[in-house]
Amino acid sequence: MPFINVNQEASQEVKIYYQDIGQGKPVVFISGWPSNSQMWESQLDVLPKNNIRCIAYDRRGFGKSDKPWESYDYDALTSDLDELLKQLDLRELTLVGFSMGGGEVARYLSKYNSEGRVTKAILVSTVLPFLLKTDNNPEGLPQEMFAQIEKEIYADRPKFLANFAKDFYSVSLLNKTVSDDFLNANQIITLQSNGNATVKAMRSWSTTDFREDIKKINVPTLIIHGTDDKTVPIEVSSDRTADMLPQAKYIKYDGAPHGLFYTEKEKLNNDIFWFVNEYQSINS
């Protein structure tokens, strides 16, 4: 299996697992919380057939990557991304960040893109610009909500993840957006992390203010969000991010949940291809 080694901590080397599929224009996929690169299966099965080289990696603490005790802040996470791009010598690439992964996109573009490796960015169901409600961010979500998430993870992580997935895909008795089998598979994927990494990564995406990072984004950007997102409501995230990036293209998926990478996979694949290939359809 392919890994890169990063030495974020002087005393501990961290191995980062990645998938590298296909040939063509490089696109790097950054997963959401609490998942890993397996969440991108519907993209990695299709886009390489259309001259897209797909690279997806497991964030530290998740999937097949090492799980250090500390260093789940966005500076450490984005340094891992930078090492991946350098070690694979990727250039003229598109970054696709889903949910939590949008943070790595913004931080990378604000701090690491001096060589111009990244030429386009796609933010899907993003946590940007700043989720936590504070005195200077009244549009955010209350700290009590995130404290409850942490409490539930430590109390019964499998139960929390099962319930979280239902909101993630907007599943209800009357709205079966995904099958029970899919939910079971999703549970297996999210359990590949551990409680420590799950909580510390959650603290990062829930409390990090990306507003200054967003000001430094200077590459063509596509924002995609579902209007029925119950996990990261569109009003507190992508609507605000789009206002801060007036040059970005903003596509709202009507009625789509947070996990639209699966429920709207054909539409998302086409929009990724369209944006990477200068607005050509995947079928053209």
Token couple for 266: 């054909």
List the catalytic residue out of 65, 79, 258, 271.
258
List the catalytic residue out of 229, 237, 238, 271.
229
Question: How many CA atoms lie within 13 Å of 248's alpha carbon, on the beta-carbon side?
Answer: 25
Q: Is 71 a known active-site residue? A: no
Q: Is 20 a known active-site residue? A: no
CA-nearest of 6, 125, 10, 107 to 59 is 6
The separation between CA 126 and the C-alpha centre of its own chain, rounded to angstroms, equals 7
H/E stretch holding 27 reads: strand 25-30
List the catalytic residue out of 31, 35, 79, 99.
99
Q: How far is CA 233 from CA 7, 47, 261, in A?
A: 36, 28, 16
Residue type, 269: N
Classify residue 162 by burial, with Cβ atoms within 10 Å: 0-12, 13-18, 19+: middle
Q: Is 229 a known active-site residue? A: yes
What amino acid positions are annotated as catalytic residues? 99, 229, 258
